[in-house]
Amino acid sequence: MKELTEYHHLLNPQLIFVAFDFETTGLSYNFDRIVEIGAVKFRYNQELERFTQMVNPQMPIPADASAVNGISDDMVKDAPTDETAIPKFLDFIGQAILVAHNASFDVSFLRSAMNRWGLGQLKNDVVDTQKMAQKAFPGRSNYKLQLLAQDLKITSLEAHRAEDDSRVCMELFTACLKQLNPGGQASFF
- Which sign, positive or negative, has the C-alpha torsion 7, 12, 95, 167? positive
Q: Cα separation of 171 and 44, whole Å? A: 12
**How are beta strands 34-43 and 16-24 bridged, if at all?**
antiparallel
**Backbone conformation region of residue 58, classed left if phi is above 0, alpha if psi is from -120 to 50, else beta:** left
The answer to whether 9 is a known catalytic residue is no
CB 22 within 8 A of CB 37: yes
Q: Cα separation of 64 and 93, whole Å? A: 30
Q: Cα separation of 125 and 99, whole Å? A: 9
Catalytic residue among 8, 9, 101, 160: 160
Around Cβ 106, how many Cβ atoms within 10 Å? 26
Burial class of residue 9 in the structure, from the number of CB atoms within 10 Å of its CB (0-12 exposed, 13-18 middle, 19+ buried): exposed
Residues assigned a catalytic role: 160
